[in-house]
Amino acid sequence: MHCALQRGEVVLVPVEAKSRRDSLVRHQIAKAVGRLQALTADGEPLGLKIRPVGLKALGQSEILLAEFNETANPDKLIVKRLRKYLPFRTSRSLFLHPSFGAAGDLE
């Protein structure tokens, strides 16, 4: 789980990461959302935004990033955004670059 700031608001980002052999599984993503929705402070729900994402290795040189809607019901989980990334290396760092022909935003 990661925390992010979006326009000054805290956003919780549960991340499900899978290898080439494993699949992203709806109930795992929905369960993570449900647990975050249940977080409380002094018995009151935190009410923070949740942006679940899945990372999937497609091969040695491609990574798929999927963003899902915020739901604890696996039957209502939908993909909001889908993007493929290709790694590239500079002399100091490894970066990811969206590949041509990526699925793009689905909204």
Tens-digit pLDDT profile for residues 35-67: 999 988 888 888 899 999 999 999 878 889 999
Residue 106, pLDDT > 50, answer no
Please tell me the pTM assigned to this model.
Answer: 0.78
Which residues lie closer than 8 Å to 69 by C-beta, 6 or more apart? 52, 76, 77, 78, 80
Q: pLDDT class for 98, splitting at 50, 70, 90? A: low
- Continuous segment of H or E residues that includes residue 4: strand 2-6
